[in-house]
Amino acid sequence: MNDPNGLVYYEGEYHLFYQYNPFGNTWGHMSWGHAVSSDLVHWKHLPLALLEADGVMIFSGSAVVDWKNTTGLGKNGKPPMVAIYTCYRPSDRMQSQCIAFSNDKGRTWTKYAANPVIDIHSANFRDPKVQWYEPGKHWIMTVSLSAEHKVRFYSSTNLKDWTLLSEFGPAGGTAGVWECPDLFQLPVEGTQERRWVLVVNINPGSIAGGSGGQYFIGQFDGTRFVEDPGSRPSVAGGGQAALWLDYGPDYYAAVSWNDISRSDGRRLWLGWMSNWQYGQDVPTSPWRSAMSIPREVGLRQTAEGIRLVQRPARENQRLREKRFQFKGGDLARANEWLTQNHIQGALELVVEFEHESTGVQGVEVLKSPKGKTVIGVNWDRKTVFVDRTNSANVNFNPKFSGVYDAPLTAPGRKVNLHVFVDASSVEVFVNDGEPVLTAISFPSGESREVKLFGPRDRAKISVLDVWNLKSSWK
């Protein structure tokens, strides 16, 4: 599997479609796999939704509930679910936008007979994200001109006939192709302000190397996205740097759920937890690739400007089992406590480090005699990092091993790390989601322990909470 697709909520179910090869564990025969959940953490696999057929692969896209039946494809007074996706013809490499519809809660799908609905005769035109724009009473499609480093916006009243509105780009990171865009509006925490966020995934050329995601902050009026002046940091020699979704190497093609209820009001998303640099070589069998945990997305005013923040979706707490709470003490005592309580395996961990003037401190996870994954704070460099250079199996691809840094946005204060450790991944939320680092890791089958480290054995650990996590499949 790779990109998440068609994330939509309808009648109590979160739908997750995704790029999927039904015939193998490397890329090919792209179709839409399908899973549903009532709580975002326990998932049920369903039959394939959209299958490669007639020489056309099903590339990435989105799904909506057509509440007003603007397509006329609904039945019995119920709105249809409509998927909007890229049709890819391997014979000539052409990419166009197509739709399909379902009248049974996404269990079966019919491809629209008059596909494609947009065809500009391009080999680099993909990944439509569609939403209803209420002020204009029309649909908006955000779609990538990948090789040109541009995003296009189209409008439609019926999801079939589309009108070009505007383009955005090139801007930000342009070292690789632009893919899998998203567009949504969010409030700025603690203010009356709202901003639109335009997400553009890029491959290669991300902050951690290979594939990753960037975002732009600005205004959208139903026709055009205009980036806020100065919303990105300046770089030497003029210009502006990119803003990155995740500073780890393994968070790509992030896309948000459509049709979350107004009473909920959250913007929820997840991403493909891998990287195209080595995604075909990951040493797992018979499966290959996974998604991140679901996250809540927000905007926060920081010293550097308005920035995107991500928190673990509260539904992840359903997987918590026993809680272990350290009562406080120095580093040596905290490590004794971790050993005494046999803290290891799949877990959620919150640790807070007091500000140190120099040195490196952090936590080693998935630790065994054969390796460890290190999550730390480098006070000299004012960064948080994930280091998987010694994380057991790193030799399957020369680009896998590495250290990945994120800037500390407030380097003079304590640092809170909220860490999810799974069988082969870590997801690190720094200072309430500002920033985030995601990395896969392939430890040995031996013990997977946890150990704190720091420049001083007597450094105080005031916050250390750990939960064992249940399997989401039980």
| Structure tokens that stand for 47 in this block | 């039959």
| Structure tokens that stand for 159 in this block | 């999801």
Burial tier of 282 (Cβ tally within 10 Å: 0-12, 13-18, 19+)? buried
Is residue 3 annotated as part of the catalytic site, yes or no? yes
Calculate the alpha carbon distances from 130 to 111, 125, 152 in Å.
17, 15, 12
How far apart CA 208 and CA 467 sit, in angstroms, is 29
Instruction: Please say whether the beta carbons of 200 and 178 come within 8 A.
Output: yes
Instruction: Please say whether the beta carbons of 393 and 366 come within 8 A.
Output: no
How far apart CA 347 and CA 423 sit, in angstroms, is 9
| Structure tokens that stand for 129 in this block | 């994200």
| Structure tokens that stand for 440 in this block | 């896969």
Catalytic residue among 3, 182, 259, 405: 3
| Structure tokens that stand for 108 in this block | 């079966």
How far apart CA 226 and CA 1 sit, in angstroms, is 34
Q: Are strands 125-133 and 118-122 parallel, antiparallel or unpaired?
A: unpaired
Instruction: Please say whether the beta carbons of 419 and 375 come within 8 A.
Output: yes
The catalytic site residues sit at 3
